[in-house]
């Protein structure tokens, strides 16, 4: 079989970084994205791009017949926890329903390998930290449940159709392409680091700090921030794992180190050279005090070693992207 990859959601935040990495590795690929949250200009001109949905069975059949993929890397999910609570049907239809359509197409065309972007949200409120792969899964919102439902149905597709899979549970994806060309462009933006950077840069008036009374050393939530480029390296290693004929598996992806919100704000202030204007707010429902991964299994079985584990590197790369985006906006006619 020809070695060619379908990257679903390849115009989004993590997907676009993955496309850049795969092209640098000389991989042949096609990007499929409906551009509901992705950006066409995030896909390099030398990568084949198709605008469309993973829930479009007829489109998938045409793509699989034409290209003969041997693997799919699946990033196309709605990701906002709050929105999932308000609109659960939308999240289940997109995240679970579209994935089932994709898996059925893979089964029809005998595509043997899937790398799936899962989430630490499948664990819910942690019973212990750091969180390893044996931690019970008890998601507390529709977003997390949608990811966990997919993880639960994948073994059935392997049993029936031979589709081997690797599920990668992200903790807090952060940072940007070290060259600054790619980064976070969510609408609306909900992630901590870009919001703090924009407040320090004066692009927004205030950064909202949700709670400073958690049971942590400085009272703010602690999270495990993992660089987007390191996440993509884990996907590449997972792809190689499956192509080598190894068994399906699941891995938690984080650096194994937690940083509080105030740690992040301090790093932002050091990188930008300006204070982050704050506005205090009450806690958000469902925010655990501490979420930190145990990445030992990914390190041992995939050989994954994060290159950009330092918080300052993550923030500095995100800042470079924010600066470049502002320059593009000001240069536009």
pLDDT value for 66:
95
Beta strands 259-260 and 222-223 are: antiparallel
Active site residues: 143
Specify whether the CB–CB gap between 227 and 144 falls below 8 A. Answer: no
pLDDT value for 177:
95
Q: What is the CA radius of gyration of the chain?
A: 19
pLDDT value for 2:
66
Give Cβ neighbours of residue 140 (< 8 Å, ≥ 6 apart): 124, 125, 286
pLDDT value for 205:
86
Band of residue 190 on the pLDDT scale cut at 50, 70, 90: confident
Which tens digit of pLDDT belongs to each residue from 89-121?
999 999 999 999 999 999 999 999 999 999 999
| Residue range 109-138: mean pLDDT, rounded | 96
Band of residue 127 on the pLDDT scale cut at 50, 70, 90: very high
| Residue range 32-39: mean pLDDT, rounded | 95
Give Cβ neighbours of residue 112 (< 8 Å, ≥ 6 apart): 1, 70, 71, 162, 163, 164, 242
- Ordered by where they begin, the domains of the chain are 5-174+225-253 (3.40.50.720), 192-223+256-292+308-331 (3.90.25.10)
Q: What is the DSSP string of 112-178?
A: -EEEEEEEGGGG-S-SSSSB-TTSPP---SHHHHHHHHHHHHHHHHHHHH--EEEEEEESEEE---T
pLDDT value for 81:
87
Has residue 330 got a pLDDT over 90?
no
């Amino acid at each position: 079989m020809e070695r060619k990859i379908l990257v679903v959601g390849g115009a989004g935040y993590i997907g676009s970084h993955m496309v850049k990495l795969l092209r640098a590795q000389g991989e042949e690929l096609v990007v499929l994205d409906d551009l509901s949250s992705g950006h066409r200009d995030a896909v390099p001109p030398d990568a084949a791009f198709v605008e469309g949905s993973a829930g479009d069975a007829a489109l998938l059949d045409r793509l699989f017949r034409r290209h003969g993929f041997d693997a799919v890397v699946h990033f196309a999910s709605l990701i906002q926890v709050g929105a999932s609570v308000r609109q659960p049907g939308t999240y289940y239809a997109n995240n679970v329903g579209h994935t089932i359509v994709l898996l059925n197409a893979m089964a029809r065309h005998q595509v043997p390998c899937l790398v799936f972007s899962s989430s630490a949200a499948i664990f819910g409120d942690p019973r212990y930290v750091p969180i390893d792969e044996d931690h019970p899964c008890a998601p507390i919102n529709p977003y997390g449940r949608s990811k966990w439902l997919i993880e639960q149905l994948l073994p059935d597709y392997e049993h029936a159709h031979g589709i081997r899979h690797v599920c990668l549970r992200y903790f807090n994806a952060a940072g940007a392409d070290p060259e600054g060309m790619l980064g976070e462009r969510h609408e609306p933006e909900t992630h901590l680091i870009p919001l703090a950077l924009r407040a320090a840069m004066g692009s927004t008036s205030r950064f909202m700090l949700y709670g400073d009374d958690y049971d942590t050393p400085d009272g703010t939530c602690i999270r495990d921030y993992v660089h987007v480029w390191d996440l993509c390296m884990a996907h590449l290693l997972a792809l190689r794992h499956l192509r080598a004929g190894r068994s399906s598996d699941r891995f938690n992806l984080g650096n194994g180190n937690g940083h509080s919100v105030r740690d992040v704000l301090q790093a932002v202030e050091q990188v930008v050279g300006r204070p982050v204007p704050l506005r205090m707010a009450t806690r958000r429902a469902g925010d655990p005090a501490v979420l930190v991964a145990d990445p030992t299994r990914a390190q041992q079985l995939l050989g994954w070693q994060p290159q950009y584990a330092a918080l300052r590197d993550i923030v500095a790369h995100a800042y470079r992207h924010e600066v470049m985006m502002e320059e593009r906006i000001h240069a536009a006619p």
